Structure formats: structure tokens, C-alpha cells
């Protein structure tokens, strides 16, 4: 039974300590409503709640500077070096393991905040500066605990996504490699005039396209998780990677005529795999949107400090608005050649991955499009890291 207002002036940190069982009972009842599976025990639902409340009570009683107060209110309170994981951080990790959503996790802290204040305020005889100060300290401590829980919840969610994508990439690549190899073997066994040879070449082409889409999807997911584009730069000549990209694009779009021209020195510190993927994506984009009766032009030029990779195609002019968004993820241009639309990827990630690859190398990518000069994608990469 809640006492009538004015029966005491119990300080908030003492109220939390002395009425811990009652508060935990309300916490557990609320968590029970949000339990995704509906099978968790009261002990599991309560997990580290008692420790969280005790930390909050101790924090309210502790003196703090104005700067520390601001940091805590924003969820940025520093953690002492060597400190163990906090109870709130453990709570976030365990809630993720129990399949709670981030919204449900946040709702728990919102309910905890409301429960403590609802039970404590009727015991206050009169509002005072000290009472307001305790409420402010309590809210800051709740915000800090919520921030700690969200951080570990999000870290665990990122790890789970990364593991899922790694497994997905592995599980998709293996059967795709088998399909591609089987198509190669069957193509070599067929006569060029055999009607089945054309179907086999389409199978081979489609498997390579799907493999490219898997690479783009994994790269996109990694950048979205804040990991950045994985890089392994070494001193190489990128001509080999560019020629491999031409081969990949030609296999996917056999009707395309790709002209390649390279300067005498195309060396520098680059990731060979990423350069091939980037150039392949640029060539695929050019093939999808270029006119079939005109060649795609790939060129690599440079000076002592940088290399410039340019891919040019002639087709419908890209508007200024589209040029401003084409390197964003999940964006697809709608002016591609209708006869090639069945071969275009449905992800809209190719140019985004190309842009992220250029950035990861310390470079940049840009695009221009005019009726006279065609559409040109230009990548500028420093030959040395940090230049």
C-alpha cells in the first residue's frame, strides 16, 4: 500500500535500497509482459536488475562535478580503466541473448524510471531543491544505465549479424562455385553449334553475376556495421586486376565491347581483390546503362602521386539529381538498356561498393554525364597510403 503524501522525507537513494524487493517485483512483472518467448523464469527476467538499482542508488548519493553531470545525462560517463563490465551492460547483453528487441529493452528502463518515482514521490512531504536534485541525479543514472545496456546489446547484435553474413556468404559461394565449374565442364563437352551450349553459357554468366551480388551484399553489410571496407593493401600493378575485371564484365555481358588502355606504370599500394571488384562494378554499371552499339572505355592514367581509373560509356544522359545520389546504397538508375535489364542486379549496391573501395584506399570517386562526352566514372587513388 502506498502511503499518503507527506508521511516522510526519505531520500531517494535510501528508498531504493530499502524497497528494493518491491521495485524488483514491478520490474519483473513488466519484463514478463515483454518476454518474447513467454518462458523465462522470474530470476532470468530480473537478472542484474538488483545490481543496476544499487549502482543507481550509490550514484545518487555520490558527489559529482557539473561536467560529470553533463556526461552522465548524455550517457557518456567514463569507465575507470580495468573496470569490469557493469550490471547494466550485462543486462543489455543478456536481453539480446533472450531475443528482446531494442525497443523492449528501452521500455524496461522507462518502466523502471516510472515505477521508482511513482512509489517514492507520495512519501515526500514537500518538494524542495534537494528533492528536485535527487530526481535529476536519478534520471541521469537511469540514462547512463540505459546507454550502457544499449551499447552491449548493439555490439552483440552486430556480432550476430556479422556471423550470419559470414555464414551466408560461405554457404552461397560454395554452391555458386559448383554451378560455375559444372557449367564450364559441360561447355567444353558441347559442340559450339549445340543448342544447349547457349543455355550453359547463360548459367555460367548468371552464376558469376550472383557471386558478384554476394560480394556486394557482404561489403555493404560490413560498412553499415561500422567496420569499413576490409583492406589488404600491398605494392602491386593493378593492370592484372583491371584485366580480370574486364573478363568478369565481359562474361556477364558478352555483347559488350570493352576497350582498355593502361599507362606504363600502374603500380602502387592497393588491395588487388577490392580493385578488381571496384572496376568490375563500374564496368557492369556501364554495360547496364550504355548503348550497345558503342564500346565501353576503361583507362588507367597517372602521375607520380596517384592513379586515375576512368570508365566511360555512351547512353542516356544521367541527370544532375541522379549524379548526386548514384553512389548511395540501394539506388538504381532507371535509364538502362531495356534489353539488358534482366541481367542487372536488384541490389543497387555496385556503385556504393565502388565508392567505399575508393575511400578505403584514401581516394575518391566522381561522375559526369553529357551528350557529347558520355557518362564517365572517375576514381582517383593515391599510389602511397596517406597521400
* DSSP secondary structure, 107-171, as one string: HHHHHHHHHHHHHHGGGBSS--HHHHHHHHHHHHHHHHHHHHHHHHHHHHHHHHHHHHHHHHHHH
Q: How confident is the model at residue 5 (pLDDT cuts 50, 70, 90)?
A: very low
Which has more confidence, 18 or 30?
18
β-strand 306-313 against 296-302: which pairing, if any?
antiparallel
Query: What is the separation of C-alpha 153 from the centre of its chain, rounded to a whole number of angstroms?
Result: 15
Whether the per-residue pLDDT at 1 is higher than 60: the answer is no
Q: How confident is the model at residue 239 (pLDDT cuts 50, 70, 90)?
A: very high
pLDDT number for residue 76 = 60
Tell me what percent of the residues of the chain surpass a pLDDT of 90: 28
pTM (two decimals): 0.57
The answer to whether 296 and 312 have CB atoms below 8 angstroms apart is yes
Beta carbons within 10 angstroms of residue 39's beta carbon:
8
**CATH code linked to domain 234-382:** 3.30.565.10
Q: How confident is the model at residue 300 (pLDDT cuts 50, 70, 90)?
A: very high
Per DSSP, the three-state class of 10 is: coil
Q: Which residues contact 186 (CB under 8 A, 6 or more apart)?
A: 196, 200
Mean pLDDT for 371-376 is 93
**CATH code linked to domain 12-161:** 1.10.490
Which has more confidence, 205 or 69?
205
**How is residue 268 annotated by DSSP?**
E
pLDDT number for residue 81 = 45
CB-based burial, 192-219: b 16+ in 10 Å, e otherwise: eeeeeeeebeebbbbbbbbbbbbbbbbb
Whether the per-residue pLDDT at 177 is higher than 80: the answer is no
Half-sphere exposure of 58 (CA within 13 A, CB side): 7
Whether the per-residue pLDDT at 341 is higher than 70: the answer is no
Q: Which among 303, 277, 310 has a CA at the least distance from the CA of 384?
A: 303
Mean pLDDT for 9-28 is 88
Which segment of 73-82, 161-170, 194-203 scores lowest on mean pLDDT?
Answer: 73-82
pLDDT number for residue 227 = 59
pLDDT number for residue 371 = 92
Grid cell of 311 as nine digits: 570508365
Mean pLDDT for 91-101 is 87
Mean pLDDT for 235-264 is 90
Which segment of 8-12, 88-92, 245-249, 301-305 scores lowest on mean pLDDT?
Answer: 8-12
Tell me what percent of the residues of the chain surpass a pLDDT of 70: 82
Whether the per-residue pLDDT at 288 is higher than 50: the answer is yes
pLDDT number for residue 383 = 94
Q: Which among 300, 291, 306, 357 has a CA at the least distance from the CA of 327?
A: 357
Amino acid at each position: 500500500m502506498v502511503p499518503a503524501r507527506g508521511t516522510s522525507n526519505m531520500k531517494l537513494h535510501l528508498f531504493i535500497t530499502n524497497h528494493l524487493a518491491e521495485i524488483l517485483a514491478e520490474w519483473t512483472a513488466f519484463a514478463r509482459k515483454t518476454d518474447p518467448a513467454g518462458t523465462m523464469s522470474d530470476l532470468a527476467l530480473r537478472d542484474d536488475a538488483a545490481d543496476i538499482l544499487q549502482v543507481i542508488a550509490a550514484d545518487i548519493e555520490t558527489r559529482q562535478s557539473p561536467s560529470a553531470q553533463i556526461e552522465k545525462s548524455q550517457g557518456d560517463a567514463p569507465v575507470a580503466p580495468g573496470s569490469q563490465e557493469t550490471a547494466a551492460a550485462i543486462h543489455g547483453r543478456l536481453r539480446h541473448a533472450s531475443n528482446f528487441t531494442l525497443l523492449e529493452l528501452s521500455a524496461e528502463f522507462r518502466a523502471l524510471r516510472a515505477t521508482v518515482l511513482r512509489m517514492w514521490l507520495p512519501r515526500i512531504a514537500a518538494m524542495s531543491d534537494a528533492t528536485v536534485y535527487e530526481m535529476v541525479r536519478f534520471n541521469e543514472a537511469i540514462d547512463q544505465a540505459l546507454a550502457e545496456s544499449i551499447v552491449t546489446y548493439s555490439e552483440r547484435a552486430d556480432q550476430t549479424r556479422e556471423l550470419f553474413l559470414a555464414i551466408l556468404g560461405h554457404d552461397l559461394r560454395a554452391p555458386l562455385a559448383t554451378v560455375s565449374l559444372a557449367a564450364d565442364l559441360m561447355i567444353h563437352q558441347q559442340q559450339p553449334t549445340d543448342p544447349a551450349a547457349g543455355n550453359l553459357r547463360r548459367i555460367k554468366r548468371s552464376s558469376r553475376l550472383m557471386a558478384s551480388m554476394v560480394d556486394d551484399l557482404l561489403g555493404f553489410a560490413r560498412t553499415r556495421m561500422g567496420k569499413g571496407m576490409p583492406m589488404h593493401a600491398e605494392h602491386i600493378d593493378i593492370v592484372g586486376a583491371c584485366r580480370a575485371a574486364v573478363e568478369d564484365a565481359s562474361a556477364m555481358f558478352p555483347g559488350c565491347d570493352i576497350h582498355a588502355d593502361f599507362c606504363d606504370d600502374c603500380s602502387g599500394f592497393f588491395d588487388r581483390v577490392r580493385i578488381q571488384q571496384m572496376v568490375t562494378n563500374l564496368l557492369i554499371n556501364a554495360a547496364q546503362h550504355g548503348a550497345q552499339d558503342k564500346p565501353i572505355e576503361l583507362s588507367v592514367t597517372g602521375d607520380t602521386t596517384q592513379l586515375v581509373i576512368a570508365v566511360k560509356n555512351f547512353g542516356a544522359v544521367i541527370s544532375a539529381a541522379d549524379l548526386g545520389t548514384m553512389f548511395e546504397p540501394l539506388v538504381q538508375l532507371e535509364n538502362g538498356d531495356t534489353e539488358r535489364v534482366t541481367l542487372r542486379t536488384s541490389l543497387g549496391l555496385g556503385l556504393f561498393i565502388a565508392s567505399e573501395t575508393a575511400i578505403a584506399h584514401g581516394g575518391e570517386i566522381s561522375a559526369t554525364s553529357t551528350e557529347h562526352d558520355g557518362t564517365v566514372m572517375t576514381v582517383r587513388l593515391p599510389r602511397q597510403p596517406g597521400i
